[in-house]
Amino acid sequence: MARLLAARGWTVAISGRRVDRLDEVARSSDHIRPYPLDVTDPVAVQRVLGQLALELGHIELFVFGAATWQPLSVGDYDFDQFQRLVNTNLMGFVRLANPVVAQMAAQGGGQLAVIASVAGYFGLPRAAAYNATKGALINLLQTMRTELEPQQIKVRMIAPGFFKSELTAKNDFPMPFLMETDAAARRAVDGLLNSDRFEIAFPRRLVWPLKLMRMLPYPLFFAITRKMMPKR
Ligand SMILES: NC(=O)c1ccc[n+]([C@@H]2O[C@H](COP(=O)([O-])OP(=O)(O)OC[C@H]3O[C@@H](n4cnc5c(N)ncnc54)[C@H](OP(=O)(O)O)[C@@H]3O)[C@@H](O)[C@H]2O)c1
């Protein structure tokens, strides 16, 4: 996404914990600048946002995509795993939300986007913690969309299906309609720049069946999710 935005002339600040990976992306364009950050560290969040405000000033578009994922065994609701995922995927965004909203309000508006997932539509076997964080993000963003509209802050929710990444490389189950990384990035950037809608969800052939599934009465819904349980 950073490379695509940079190619369109945007100045892009990128963050993550691994400095070498940030530098690698930053080297690909004069428009990309690395700002190493661990979103679980509240002091670092304040420091980096201050640095950004000083060096770049205006934030036109903010995209939060930091996440971690770990499949859990069926029936396992391990506290430490939950805490780790919630702390990054959900609270990582919450740590940034107030200062980013304050800056956008002060500058007269902006776009605030979060990469949630179609996994946030409902709970599925083995994905208890991850799906819960993505579901919570979608819920939070729905609130923010309405609340921040008067300040000209456009809140966007990106809901991708499966795409190739380090995160999905560890999956040992079939991933229907798995997308190439670049194709997914392009869908997200096009959605952000060429539309106003709240939800940017793709690919459609996965999204629509999932949306229909979300509307099913619970007995039918659970008849489907029961089939997703690993064979003993
Ligand atoms: N791949 C899929 O099929 C899929 C589907 C739906 C939604 N998504 C979502 O898409 C987003 C990108 O995921 P991805 O699949 O591209 O996986 P990824 O390659 O593992 O990307 C996750 C990114 O988050 C960063 N990150 C993780 N923990 C962080 C922390 N504590 N502080 C700052 N940065 C942190 C990672 O960089 P460092 O490790 O260097 O910090 C990495 O750049 C995630 O929100 C994911 O949930 C992915």
Instruction: Using the atom order of ligand 1, give the atom closest to the CA of residue 114.
Output: 45
Give the chain's domains with CATH numbers.
63-227 (3.40.50.720)
From ligand 1's centre to the CA of 224, what distance in Å? 28
Selected residue with higher pLDDT from 171 and 147? 147
CB-based contact 201:207 (threshold 8 Å): yes
Question: How high is the pLDDT of residue 170?
Answer: 87
- Write the pLDDT tens digit of every residue in 115-166: 999 999 999 998 999 999 999 999 999 999 999 999 999 999 999 999 999 9
From ligand 1's centre to the CA of 220, what distance in Å? 32
Contacting residues for 163 by C-beta, under 8 A, at least 6 apart:
178, 179, 180, 181, 183, 184
User: What span, in angstroms and rounded, lies between the C-alpha atoms of 228 and 210?
Assistant: 14
The band of 211, judged by pLDDT with boundaries at 50, 70 and 90, is very high
Question: How high is the pLDDT of residue 122?
Answer: 96
User: What span, in angstroms and rounded, lies between the C-alpha atoms of 202 and 184?
Assistant: 8
- Mean predicted confidence (pLDDT) in 186-197: 98
Helix axis angle, 42-55 to 91-107, nearest 10°: 30
Q: pTM above 0.85? A: yes
User: What span, in angstroms and rounded, lies between the C-alpha atoms of 141 and 181?
Assistant: 24
Q: Is it the case that residue 232 has pLDDT exceeding 80? A: no
Question: How high is the pLDDT of residue 72?
Answer: 86
CB-based contact 165:179 (threshold 8 Å): no
The band of 82, judged by pLDDT with boundaries at 50, 70 and 90, is very high
Q: Whose CA is nearest to atom 17 of ligand 1?
A: 167
From ligand 1's centre to the CA of 60, what distance in Å? 22
User: What span, in angstroms and rounded, lies between the C-alpha atoms of 90 and 136?
Assistant: 7
